[in-house]
Amino acid sequence: DTAVSQTPKYLVTQMGNDKSIKCEQNLGHDTMYWYKQDSKKFLKIMFSYNNKELIINETVPNRFSPKSPDKAHLNLHINSLELGDSAVYFCASSRLEFTGELFFGEGSRLTVL
């Protein structure tokens, strides 16, 4: 059983399109996150949710909108995709907010053409 699963694993799309990445965790964790990893492997937090409530919104353009329908799911919707959005997006979860282990998904590689 995959602890943190995200779909799709690969996404290729044109500039200007809207796309979504879904994430689900079956660990019973209260906190979920989205991270962006650029081509230089730098990991940058985008959002964190605790029990469906937005905790961190780290200067991300408002074209990115996270949605947490329940504490086991955190989806990421991106409007009007730009070339610079190409990256690997990782979903993660933790039992407590940043005071313990982060469990990452396998990543969703987004390529904007």
Partner 1 sequence: GENVEQHPSTLSVQEGDSAVIKCTYSDSASNYFPWYKQELGKGPQLIIDIRSNVGEKKDQRIAVTLNKTAKHFSLHITETQPEDSAVYFCAASISYGNNRLAFGKGNQVVVIP
Q: Under the rule (CB under 8 A), what is the footprint of partner 1?
A: 4, 40-45, 48, 55-56, 90, 92, 97-99, 101-102, 104-107
Nearest alpha carbon to residue 4 among 109, 105, 108: 105
CA 42, CA 36: separation in Å to the nearest integer?
8
Shortest spacing between CB 15 and partner 1, in angstroms: 26
Tokens 């995709």 belong to residue: 81
Pick between residue 45 and residue 72 the one whose CB is nearest to partner 1: 45
Shortest spacing between CB 99 and partner 1, in angstroms: 6
Cβ atoms 19, 81 nearer than 8 A: yes
Pick between residue 14 and residue 40 the one whose CB is nearest to partner 1: 40
Shortest spacing between CB 98 and partner 1, in angstroms: 4
Pick between residue 10 and residue 63 the one whose CB is nearest to partner 1: 10
CA 17, CA 21: separation in Å to the nearest integer?
13
Cβ atoms 110, 91 nearer than 8 A: no
Pick between residue 1 and residue 40 the one whose CB is nearest to partner 1: 40
Tokens 């990445």 belong to residue: 21
Shortest spacing between CB 80 and partner 1, in angstroms: 27
